[in-house]
Amino acid sequence: MNIKTKFSNGNKVHAIFQGRETGKIRCRVCYGCGEIELDGSKYNCPKCLGHCSARKDGPLKWMGGKSQITIGGIVAIKTANKPQEVSYVQTTVGSSFKERNLFLTLDEAEAECERRNKE
């Protein structure tokens, strides 16, 4: 069986993934001071636990591609009545990525993120 792949072992590629950008916002309970006062005593804020801020997650979107990964292995799966699916394994970490989420250039990766985020 001849299985065609887009990339080869040793190729350096850019991976994209779905994720959320996170940031910090001032705590709405303690207004950023990290503590609350109750009956003359001060306590750590129960919302932010004294950190003065809370994490804010942005919407789910396609991102990544900034750093390159090196392909260390290829896994191809072909089953009846389904299209071939190819995944690639990163050399150093062992994470796997689907072929449709890998790109040779940063420009290609960023363009695909923009396209998918418009859907």
From residue 17, alpha-carbon distances to 10, 62, 98, 103, 110 in Å are 21, 5, 10, 12, 11
Contact yes or no for 9/65 (Cβ under 8 A) = no
Position 4 in a domain: no
- What sign has the CA pseudo-torsion 24, 25, 27, 32? positive
H helices of the chain, in order, are 106-118
Q: Say yes or no to pLDDT of 41 above 90.
A: yes
Position 2 in a domain: no
Position 43 in a domain: yes
User: What is the count of structural domains for the chain?
Assistant: 1
Position 112 in a domain: yes
Better pLDDT: 97 or 3: 97
pLDDT at 91: 64
Question: Which pLDDT band, with edges at 50, 70 and 90, does 21 fall under?
Answer: confident
Position 3 in a domain: no
What is the domain extent for residue 63? 12-118
pLDDT at 9: 87
